[in-house]
Structure 1
Amino acid sequence: FVFADVIGQIVELTPIEVVSANGKETHKLTVELRNEKDERLPMVLWGNFATDVSDAIQGRGENAIICVLRFGKIKVWKYERSVLNAYNVSDVELNPLTPEVEAFASLLSSVYIVMCTIAAIESDMGCYYLSCKVCSKKVLNVPNDNIDEQGDEDEMGFHYYCVKCKVKNPRLMPRYKLHLVVLDNPGNSKFLLFDAIAMQILNRPCNELTGSNFEEMQDPEDILLALKDLV
């Protein structure tokens, strides 16, 4: 690994995950940074870095977020670069008031307009996810400790858990997560639209389309009719 300082605007993030690393469960957050030339760099944060940054991003609304990672580890895998935090060494700040951040922000274009045609929806990656209705965070599917116990959740083999609220089987709310393939001249690209932006396009909340069926989509053919109208 090579250690470096990284600065970039956060342009995409995935819901926080709980994964197994070195035999222990830990939080993982993946975001994508861009520089003033619109070059992209994936950044992976682990542990408390992941939860702290995720909470901070959620609280900042739609404002542009510039991330500064100090003493980050540069990783190269199959010629693709990414950066991740080093435990107890790295430092992460969002929109710090420094001359370097002000200079970087002045180089960024605040608005991008993309004229394109939606060609396809990658439904095999799911069209929505289940979130906690109280805090809006994605809930986790946690295997039951004792599958021999009776109850509805044991029939599924798992229960839902909200990491932020620390609640088992919270009230659920489906939210959009659309993976779109779009065409422009001369090529194509992929967009990931989360709930707020997707709802502006569809003009309908996600729970209105799903009804009471809260099982996340796994079948590529099982695409909601309202989403087909986008293509």
Structure 2
Amino acid sequence: MYLVQRDLPVGEWRVVENFKISGTGGQYRPTKLQYKMTILGDTTIIRTDYRNDNHFLSLARYEEIGTENLKTYFLIDILGQVVELGRIMTVEVKGEERKRVLFRLRDTSGNEVACCLWGQYAEQIESHISESKDDTIICLIRFAKISEFRGELQITNAYDASLLMLNPTMEEAIDFKQKYKLHVFVKDDTGESELMLLDTVATTIIGNKAEELWDGSYAEIEDPEILPIPIKNLVGKSFCFGLSITSDNVSNGSTTFKVAEVWSGDHIHRIESLSEPVSLIGSSSSTLSTSEVLCIDHNKESSSEDVTTPFSKRKEGDAELNDMNSTSKKLCAKNIKMEKTKED
């Protein structure tokens, strides 16, 4: 095994001759292919000048993790933004001390998955945090294991077989960064709040993709006068927002609420004409609210202390998640402010 590892270094191209092809089976398969290659005693491994920068990623769709399409015996490639990053802790496992870090990965549609990395991978994140000045971490885990912890699906490293890349520069990671993360301040007849719209939802109301407006630039924008017109045009408009109440809101008290769906036009008039509140069908962790955009803060990570959560703006009897529904008529708009993530 040592000789094979020595002759097949990760990231290098080799010509392999005299090997065995057989059917796949068992746990922790690195691909969905039906066949696998087995190195034999007389297998020959030869160096080559051939080069190809393609990483041959097969990125998992978050919504498919743990389903028939991506069962737990597959090792997957997963890309996302690190959110809710916990402290790197040293814990005892089977009599040995190991470092561990817990966090969540979020895709451009707002889907999230829990992650737990151990040992050298936790140390890699610890080192990145101490050395990097960039608060935004884009994380790629190759050959990650799908597991379950306390009833929740979780991504973790497959022993030492996984590869961890932080803020990688391959095409897939660059495309991931060129997405919206739009924070808007809205107001209805119950008060004000801050909402976060990720790429798919933001594109719906802006009408343009992020890369079309920013042309690949990540420079910080401090002057609201130079904001793209499609984003400026949001101020003063009314939308119907379907909100997702996440663990960050319930457990950590975050006052920024993620928008799962958005509607405008006739749908808003229909909601406003109803005498009874209308809940977003599907889960008690969702709510429907018609509000007007007051101002915009683009790619803003932390929530404003001056913005109150809908919980505090309602009567005590209306504080239950199932009853968080409101409608409003148009209100006056404020000036807008924009910040943009700065990438090295």
Normalized against structure 1, the TM-score is what?
Answer: 0.49
Q: 1 or 2 for the larger relative contact order (CA 8 Å, sep ≥6)?
A: 1
TM-score, normalised relative to structure 2: 0.34
More strand, by proportion:
1
